[in-house]
Structure 1
Amino acid sequence: MNFMQMAGAISDATTLVNQLKTFFLVGVLGLMYVLSIVYVWGQTKSVLKAAVAAIGGAAVLAIVVNMAVLRDKIGEDIKSPGSNAAPAAVRVVDHIGPAGGERR
């Protein structure tokens, strides 16, 4: 087996892994999303509860789909926590004396 065949095999394996990842992300998670809404509807017969399940499931799907972006954003926040924070205003006050207004 020469190097060109190995490069082709590695490329094919990478393509297969990417296709499997897409299948699980879209197919399996999408099916779980739909089944969870159907389950809530079947148990409660409530449109409101099914809508809440749909919104919650959509939030979970958005987090899973954007996991790489969130990972990078959290990593940057951990590395440099002060870069994204707004500057804080600090006010220094003198010592407040007793009620009579006496100062020592």
Structure 2
Amino acid sequence: MNGLMQMAGAISDANTLVSQLKNFFLVGVLGLMYVVSIAFVWGQTKSVMKAAVAAIGGAVVLAIVVNMASVRDKIGEDIKNPAGKTNAAAVRVVDHIGPAGGDRR
């Protein structure tokens, strides 16, 4: 029983380590890449406008990466239940419409 408890502790420690590594890569590495890409664009072009576009583009990429779980779930829901798909259909029956003069033959 003692070995089982130690194994549970080791799994918990591994999960904590993986979570910390994920946070390190999301915040540290991606943040560093974001700053370096803006600095690279600024260094190459010396243009404030191009550096601002790089900053906005990088922010969009960072937002997608950070929110990847919710994006994945949203896409999965869209695949399961497409917006145009309906399960029920409404049918309207229209009687025969005669000519304008009211003469039905």
Q: Could you say whether these structures have the same fold, taking a TM-score greater than 0.5 normalized by the shorter chain as the test?
A: yes
TM-score w.r.t. length of structure 1:
0.78
Taking the aligned partners of 1:84 and 1:70, their CA distance within structure 2 comes to: 21
Taking the aligned partners of 1:70 and 1:19, their CA distance within structure 2 comes to: 22
Whether contact under 8 Å (1:77, 1:84) holds in the other structure is no
Unpaired runs of at least 5, structure 1: 86-104
Taking the aligned partners of 1:69 and 1:15, their CA distance within structure 2 comes to: 22
Unpaired runs of at least 5, structure 2: 87-105
Structure 1 residue 82, shift from structure 2 partner: 2.7
Taking the aligned partners of 2:5 and 2:85, their CA distance within structure 1 comes to: 47
Indicate the larger mover: 10-19 or 74-83: 74-83
Q: Counterpart amino acid of 1:31? A: L
Are positions 1:39 and 2:26 aligned together?
Answer: no
Taking the aligned partners of 1:59 and 1:84, their CA distance within structure 2 comes to: 31
Q: Counterpart amino acid of 1:46? A: S
Structure 1 residue 83, shift from structure 2 partner: 7.3
The 3-state SS of whatever aligns with 2:28 is: helix
TM-score w.r.t. length of structure 2:
0.77
Q: Counterpart amino acid of 1:63? A: I
| 1:19 corresponding residue in structure 2 | 20
Deviations along 1:29-72, one digit per CA (max 9) or x if unpaired, are 00000000000000000000000000000000000000000000
Structure 1 segments of 4+ aligned residues over 4 angstroms from their partners:
none
| 2:53 corresponding residue in structure 1 | 52
> How many residue pairs were aligned?
85
Deviations along 1:12-43, one digit per CA (max 9) or x if unpaired, are 00000000000000000000000000000000
Taking the aligned partners of 1:19 and 1:57, their CA distance within structure 2 comes to: 23
Please identify the structure whose Cα radius of gyration is greater.
2
